[in-house]
């Protein structure tokens, strides 16, 4: 299988090659979740894949239609998922073997304490929304004062002990994000987004099929990196589905795709401006081909993808960009690696501005802003 064919297929399945008749939920489902630690970046990720969409379209899908849900996803980071996919995601993420607990003994929670906190959260949030501070008081009342001890270093202060279990609570289906209350985050129950919700048994097998469809061919190690999961566990997962997979060779390296998956020896094309942590750059491998040449040093942060918004040309990273908002004005600086037609960049800047509901001002030059944490 040629690298061009791999890239062309990925671009098509991500909705980045040509317009697709997708809703926001369709787009998020196709790319296996949109990273939403920076919600405006998630709004742009989704908007780029849904013709005519703006950030308002995405917000309505999330908070009014509830066809999207904001929760903790791969690597313990905040994501948007299609609400209809939440049973698969919770069933999958809760099945990943736990990684080593990096907290010291006086801070970490025992497995039994984690279970107590998750059960309390599920009961507390059944029919309401709460800020983290409000939730702390309710949890302490149910499980004991230890849950509220301020022992977790966070920004300029400390968080209560229970918060180290928050992504576990989300992965078990006890918690998701509710609408912000002013500048304060709230949490609520996923049942309010998807009545009758239950985690899917063997959700991980289905997630692997979806990932292979969107990002394949891949190796077990690349899948493990995407999830921050043990490599040996990922290898065993691939082996358990061996009858559904087939090996292919790409640029002399062996990887796996779904058996019988179709591909054509097409040439990828197009220019795109992808935001922080866009699923395409975070999920696609191998890194040295997705980020070729100088892009490997310029657009990765210590080898990690997503920390810079990127200029994508023909499916490969070919520069970085940054936007600064002032009212409706969007000052967008694009730093290409090599030559690129200004008109193609201008068209993408116009599209980004339309999605973010702003007025663009383009500068071709050096991006001086560092990597996002």
CATH number at residue 216: 1.10.10.10
The verdict on residue 344 lying in a domain is yes
The mean pLDDT value for 15-41 works out to: 96
Asked, for residue 30, whether it belongs to a domain, the answer is no
Domain boundary among 195, 224, 248: 195
Answer yes or no: is 92 within a domain.
Answer: no
**Which residue is listed with tokens 């289906």?**
173
The verdict on 127 and 184 lying in the same domain is yes
Kindly state whether residue 355 falls inside one of the protein's structural domains. yes
> Does 222 fall in a domain?
yes
Identify the sign of the CA torsion 184, 324, 66, 70: negative
End position of a domain, from candidates 195, 222, 244: 195
Asked if residue 321 is part of any domain, the answer here is: yes
Quick: pLDDT tens for 310-353.
Answer: 999 999 999 999 999 999 999 999 999 989 999 999 999 999 99
3-state per-residue secondary structure call for 231-256: HHHHHHHHHHCHHHEEEEEECCEEEE
In a domain, 305, yes or no: yes
Virtual torsion, Cα 122, 127, 132, 136, nearest 10 deg: -60
Do both 299 and 335 map to the same domain?
A: yes
Q: Which pLDDT score is estimated for 231?
A: 95
Residue 164: CB atoms within 10 A of its CB come to: 20
Stronger pLDDT, 362 or 157, i.e. the higher one: 362
Residues in the chain: 373
Same domain, 234 and 155: no
pLDDT digits (tens, 9 = 90+) for 190-218: 999 999 999 999 999 999 999 999 999 99
State phi, psi for 41 to the nearest 5 degrees: -70, -40
Asked whether residue 117 falls in the same domain as residue 173, the answer is: yes
In a domain, 39, yes or no: no
The verdict on whether omega for the bond into residue 276 sits within 30 degrees of 0, i.e. cis, is no
- Kindly report, residue by residue over 254-286, the tens digit of the pLDDT: 999 999 998 888 889 999 999 999 999 999 999
Label residue 121 by pLDDT band (50, 70, 90): very high
Any idea what the CATH number is for the domain that residue 138 is in? 1.10.10
Domain of 285, in residue numbers: 271-364
133 and 163 assigned to the same domain: yes
190 and 209 inside one domain: no
**pLDDT for position 101:** 78
pLDDT at 100 over 80: no
Tell me the average pLDDT of the chain: 95
Task: Specify whether 209 is located in the same domain as 185.
Answer: no
- Tally of domains within the chain: 3
Q: Are residues 185 and 232 in the same domain?
A: no
- Is 185 found in the same domain as 127? yes
Q: How confident is the model at residue 174 (pLDDT cuts 50, 70, 90)?
A: very high
pTM above 0.85, yes or no: yes
Q: What is the mean pLDDT of the segment spanning 56-63?
A: 98
From 156, 172, 195, give the residue that closes a domain.
Answer: 195
* pLDDT over 80 at 75, yes or no: yes
Residue 373 has pLDDT above 80, yes or no: no
Mark whether 169 and 234 lie in a shared domain.
Answer: no
106 shares a domain with 186 = yes
In this prediction, residues 10-33 reach a mean pLDDT of 96
Give the ranges where the chain is alpha helix by DSSP (H): 3-13, 24-30, 39-47, 55-59, 86-93, 111-124, 132-143, 166-171, 203-215, 220-227, 231-240, 279-283, 287-290, 295-298, 342-356
At residue 19, the pLDDT reads 85
**How sure is the predictor about 134, in pLDDT bands with cuts at 50, 70 and 90?**
very high
């Amino acid at each position: 299988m040629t690298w061009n064919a791999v890239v062309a297929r990925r671009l098509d399945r991500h909705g980045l090659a040509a317009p697709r008749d997708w809703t926001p939920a369709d787009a998020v489902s196709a790319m296996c979740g949109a990273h939403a630690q920076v919600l405006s970046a998630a709004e742009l990720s989704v908007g780029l894949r849904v013709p005519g969409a703006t950030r308002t379209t995405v917000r309505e899908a999330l908070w009014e239609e509830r066809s999207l849900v904001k929760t903790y996803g791969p690597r313990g980071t905040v994501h948007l998922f299609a609400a209809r996919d939440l049973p698969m995601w919770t069933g999958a993420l809760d099945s990943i073997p736990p990684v080593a607990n990096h907290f010291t003994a006086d801070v970490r929670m025992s497995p039994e304490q984690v279970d107590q906190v998750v059960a309390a959260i599920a009961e507390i949030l059944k029919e309401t929304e709460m800020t983290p501070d409000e939730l702390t008081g309710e949890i302490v009342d149910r499980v004991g004062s230890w849950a509220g001890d301020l022992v977790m270093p966070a920004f300029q202060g400390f968080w209560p002990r229970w918060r180290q279990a928050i992504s576990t609570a989300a992965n078990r289906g006890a918690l998701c994000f509710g609408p912000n209350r002013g500048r304060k985050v709230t949490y609520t129950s996923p049942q309010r987004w998807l009545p009758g919700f239950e985690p899917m048994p063997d959700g991980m097998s289905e997630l692997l099929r979806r990932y292979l469809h969107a990002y394949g061919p891949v190796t077990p190690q690349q899948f493990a990196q995407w999830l921050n999961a043990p490599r040996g566990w990922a290898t065993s997962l691939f082996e358990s589905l061996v009858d559904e997979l087939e090996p292919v060779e790409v640029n002399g390296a062996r990887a796996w795709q779904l058996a019988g998956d179709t591909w054509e020896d097409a040439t990828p094309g197009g220019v795109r401006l992808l935001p922080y942590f866009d699923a395409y750059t975070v999920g696609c491998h191998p890194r040295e081909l997705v980020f070729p040449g100088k892009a490997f040093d310029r657009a990765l942060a210590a080898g990690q993808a997503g920390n810079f918004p990127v200029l994508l040309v023909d499916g490969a990273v070919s520069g970085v960009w940054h936007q600064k908002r002032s009212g409706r004005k969007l000052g967008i600086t694009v730093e290409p690696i090599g030559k690129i037609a200004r008109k193609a960049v201008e068209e993408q800047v116009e599209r980004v501005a339309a999605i973010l509901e702003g007025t663009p001002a383009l500068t071709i030059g050096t991006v001086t802003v560092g990597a996002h944490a």
